[in-house]
């Protein structure tokens, strides 16, 4: 905590308030100025979302005129683990022959799977698997993987310098997931820890979890252009519902639309049901004498801007099915004008049937890779859509 706001008397003196006077929420802009590079959010009796762009954030709980700092003692802190730079090993696993081949940029070494597993959790080294090229279906070589991770590390470091963060992946196990957890912790330090889910709520949330839109015009062949929807960030409306429809198979929303994903467990988020209604699908809440909705009260919600510093609503980890639903909704809405040209959808990537001599159906912005919910052009050519998971480009 900055020394200028370390004690209440310091703040009140600087603000010209009496020692016993409360600090109004309307004074928080001035308090932030005193604090320097610290953004202050408030929850409780009043809600305030800081407009400060500082990456240092704290959340205060206001109750009956008194402020207290919202702490999270129960959260796993990746920053406690990620204090040491690790040297990378890339590896290729051959489960059939019980061999793992590793490479550190200089030498290649072969280990048994058992030997590899014993040393995989090293404090000094990170182990990164080779990846398959999604366009060709061919796996990288060890050398290509080693070169790629270093190029990604350098690019990520240069890009994050612009925001004053200078994030080095080598300090986070060369893992985007670990880096994201570290960033989440850094930007949400004042968010209280979640209570454990009871079994009933856990089942609802598990049943509502679905991936992205998946569909393909199987065995289609022709000229196509492939696009990708860049990162989704959206709003999570808090409600889970058991829904079906009259005249439809039990537990389903009636109607067949490639822009909507059915849930065989018949649990949908409010976002899903809104989208189904927009697409003209029939919806009925299940009425069988059992609970058909799980709604979070307003008191259970923390504004997402408090968590992320960007326009989210919700809490975590309960937010997961809603974020996934919003991703599906975003992709569905972007594809709707081109529905008759869609030949494949796989989560946030899709292929449209187009003509090689004609302008692209979608004009993608130059900065698409840096924008949210923008469309990014990936590739074009003659292709064979075998199914939703396999496309052969020629």
* Phi (first) and psi of residue 240, to 5 degrees: -115, 140
Mean pLDDT of the chain: 79
Nearest to 129 by CA among 99, 151, 102: 102
Give the integer Cα–Cα distance in Å for 239 and 233: 18
CA distances from 119 to 89, 126, 171 (A): 11, 10, 19
Q: In terms of C-beta density within 10 A (0-12 exposed, 13-18 middle, 19 or more buried), how is residue 118 classed?
A: exposed
Residue 224 has pLDDT above 90, yes or no: yes
Rounded to the nearest 5 degrees, what angle is found at the Cα of 232, between the Cα atoms of 172 and 139? 55
Domain 199-393 top-level CATH class: alpha beta
Domain ranges of the chain: 3-69, 78-187, 199-393
Greater confidence (20 vs 146) lies with 146
SS3 per-residue string spanning the chain: CCHHHCCHHHHHHHHCCCCCCCCCHHHHHHHHHHHCCCEEEEEECCCECCCCCCCCEEEEEEECCEEEECCCCCCCCHHHHCCCCCEEEEEEEECCCCEEEEECCCCEEEEEHHHHHHHCCCCCEEEEECCECCCCCCECCHHHHHHHHHHHHHHHHHHHHCCCCCCCHHHCCCCHHHHHHHHHHHHCCCCCCCCCCCHHHHHHHHHHCCCCEEEECCCEEEEEEEEEECCCCCCCCCEEEEEECCCCCCCCCECCCCCCCCCCCCEEEHHHHHHHHHCCCECEECCCCCCCEEECCHHHCCEHHHHHCCCCECCCCCCHHHHHHHHHHHHHHHHHHHHHHEEEEEECEEEEECCCCCCCCCCCCCCHHHCCCCEEEEEEEEEEEEECCEEEEC
Q: Which residues pair with 376 in a beta bridge?
A: 228
pTM: 0.49
Query: How does residue 377 score in pLDDT terms, banded at 50, 70 and 90?
Result: confident
In percent, the amount of the chain with pLDDT more than 70 equals: 77
| pLDDT tens, position by position, 282-298 | 888 888 888 888 776 55
Greater confidence (104 vs 1) lies with 104
Q: How many CB atoms sit inside 10 A of residue 189's CB?
A: 18
The top-scoring range by mean pLDDT among 24-38, 252-266, 311-325, 361-375 is 24-38
| pLDDT tens, position by position, 44-64 | 777 788 888 776 778 887 777
Residue 1 has pLDDT above 50, yes or no: yes
99-125 average pLDDT score: 90
């Amino acid at each position: 905590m900055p020394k200028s706001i370390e004690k209440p008397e310091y703040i009140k003196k600087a603000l010209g308030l009496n020692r016993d006077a409360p600090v109004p929420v309307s004074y928080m802009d001035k308090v932030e100025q005193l604090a320097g590079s610290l953004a202050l959010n408030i929850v409780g009796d009043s809600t305030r979302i800081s407009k400060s762009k500082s990456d240092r954030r704290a959340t205060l709980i206001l109750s009956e005129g008194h402020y207290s700092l919202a702490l999270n003692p129960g959260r796993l802190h990746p920053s406690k683990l990620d204090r040491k730079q690790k040297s990378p090993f890339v590896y290729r696993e051959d489960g059939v022959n019980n061999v793992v081949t590793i490479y550190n940029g200089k030498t290649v070494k072969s280990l048994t799977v058992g030997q590899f597993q014993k040393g995989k959790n090293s404090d000094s080294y990170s182990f990164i698997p080779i990846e398959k090229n999604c366009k060709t279906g061919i796996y990288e070589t060890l050398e290509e993987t080693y070169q790629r991770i270093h190029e990604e590390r350098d690019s990520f470091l240069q890009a994050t310098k612009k925001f004053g963060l200078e994030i080095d992946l080598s300090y986070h196990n060369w893992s985007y997931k670990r880096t994201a957890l570290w960033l989440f912790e850094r930007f949400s330090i004042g968010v209280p820890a979640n209570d454990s889910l009871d079994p009933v709520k856990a089942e609802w949330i598990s049943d509502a979890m679905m991936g992205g839109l998946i569909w393909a015009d199987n065995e289609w062949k022709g000229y196509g252009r492939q696009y990708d929807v860049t990162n989704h960030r959206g709003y999570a409306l808090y409600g889970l519902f058991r829904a079906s429809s009259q005249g439809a198979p039990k537990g389903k929303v009636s109607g067949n639309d490639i822009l909507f994903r059915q849930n065989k467990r018949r649990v949908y988020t409010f976002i899903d049901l809104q989208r189904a209604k927009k697409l003209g699908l029939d919806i009925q809440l299940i009425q069988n004498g059992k609970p058909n909705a799980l709604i979070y009260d307003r008191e259970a919600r923390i504004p997402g801007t408090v968590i992320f510093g960007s326009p989210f609503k919700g809490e975590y980890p309960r937010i997961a099915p809603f974020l996934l639903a919003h991703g599906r909704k975003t992709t569905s809405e972007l594809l709707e004008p081109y529905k008759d040209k869609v030949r494949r959808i796989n989560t946030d990537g899709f292929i449209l049937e187009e003509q090689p001599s004609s302008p692209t159906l979608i004009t993608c912005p130059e900065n698409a890779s840096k924008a949210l919910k923008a469309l990014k052009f990936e590739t074009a050519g003659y292709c064979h859509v075998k199914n939703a998971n396999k496309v052969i480009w020629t």
